[in-house]
């Protein structure tokens, strides 16, 4: 199992220094229904795909999502559809190794769970064994409710994902907001009720008009994590690279908290200029020969 790897913190930059934090649990996340009277603070979730990013984000997040968005963010793929179980396992293991506090949730990629509950169990069990993650996330509403129940009853915590479901982009015809028509709004409400009743410990609600997001948040018993939904949801999630400003184009619902893309470009330009000017490496970055002993 990948979480058994031990790295020397003195020699490996990839290994985080252990922090005095106790790992949160799936039941603790379900109990954080902030929209319910007496509920806790809203849940904070960001995506993470590498050990170092996980290490940096972990102290600030309740959950880290190893999203299949890594297909676009890491691999430059046109959508999440080509992402494989092997890709999810490799990045999921890295995020688990890089975190000590947050609940790590890993996406089930397209084609790994839709055929049957049994297929979903095989895929999910393999992912959890390979990565050490605490839960899986899968897309779909009423049609996937039996699968959510099947997994939950067999010891695999499931986070649902409804509304705009990126894996279904070919059916939806794009990434537009969902729920503008009465029929579509009713469908999303029914999807939320079905996934909640099936035993999901939480659900992501993506790209829907705000009144639907508010109604669903108050209607279901599990926490609703919004992305392009409403501040009244029980928590929020964003792709970390989007909120850090790593890409030129982002969805309307993304707020940029930094402009790392521009800062990285500036740093690379300064490095290139110094290399060309032969001012790097300087005396601080080179090694002097040892003084020879006198004869």
The annotation status of 107 as a binding-site residue, yes or no, is yes
Q: Please list the active-site residues.
A: 206
- For residue 63, give every residue at least 6 positions away whose Cβ sits within 8 Å of its Cβ, in sequence order, or none: 24, 29, 43, 44, 45, 102, 103, 104, 105, 237
The annotation status of 139 as a binding-site residue, yes or no, is yes
Q: Are 192 and 145 in contact (CB under 8 A)?
A: no
The annotation status of 258 as a binding-site residue, yes or no, is no
Cα separation, 66 vs 131, whole angstroms: 11
DSSP state of 120: H
How many residues does the structure list for the chain? 295
- Angstrom CA distances, 189 to 1, 59, 218, stand at 39, 34, 11
Q: Estimate the crossing angle of helix 145-152 against helix 182-197, to 10 degrees.
A: 20
The annotation status of 137 as a binding-site residue, yes or no, is yes
The annotation status of 153 as a binding-site residue, yes or no, is no
Known binding positions for Mg(2+): 68, 107, 139
Known binding positions: 68-69, 107, 137, 139
């Amino acid at each position: 199992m990948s979480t058994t790897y031990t790295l020397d913190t003195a020699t490996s930059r990839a290994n985080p220094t252990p922090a005095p934090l106790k790992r949160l649990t799936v039941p603790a996340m379900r109990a954080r229904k902030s929209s319910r009277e007496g509920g806790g603070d809203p849940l904070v979730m960001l995506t993470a795909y590498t050990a170092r990013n996980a290490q940096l984000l972990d102290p600030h997040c309740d959950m880290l999502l190893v999203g299949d968005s890594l297909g676009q963010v890491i691999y430059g793929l046109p959508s999440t559809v080509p992402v494989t179980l092997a890709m999810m396992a490799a990045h999921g293991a890295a995020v688990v190794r890089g975190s000590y506090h947050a609940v790590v949730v890993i996406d089930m990629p397209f084609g790994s769970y839709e055929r049957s509950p049994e297929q979903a169990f095989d895929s999910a069990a393999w992912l959890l064994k390979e990565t050490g993650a605490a839960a899986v996330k899968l897309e779909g509403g009423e049609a996937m409710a039996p699968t959510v129940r099947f997994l939950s009853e067999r010891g695999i915590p499931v986070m649902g994902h409804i509304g705009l479901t990126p894996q279904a982009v070919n059916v939806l015809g794009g990434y537009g907001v969902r729920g503008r028509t009465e029929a579509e709004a009713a469908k999303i409400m029914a999807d939320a009720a079905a996934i909640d009743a099936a035993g999901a410990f939480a659900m992501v609600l993506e790209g829907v008009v705000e009144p639907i997001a508010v109604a669903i948040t108050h209607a279901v018993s599990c926490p609703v994590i919004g992305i392009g939904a409403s501040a009244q949801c029980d928590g929020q999630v964003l792709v970390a690279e989007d909120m850090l400003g790593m890409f030129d184009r982002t969805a309307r619902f993304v707020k940029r908290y930094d402009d790392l893309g521009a800062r990285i470009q500036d740093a690379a330009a300064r490095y290139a200029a110094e290399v060309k000017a032969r001012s790097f490496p300087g005396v601080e970055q080179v090694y002097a020969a040892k003084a020879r002993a006198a004869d």
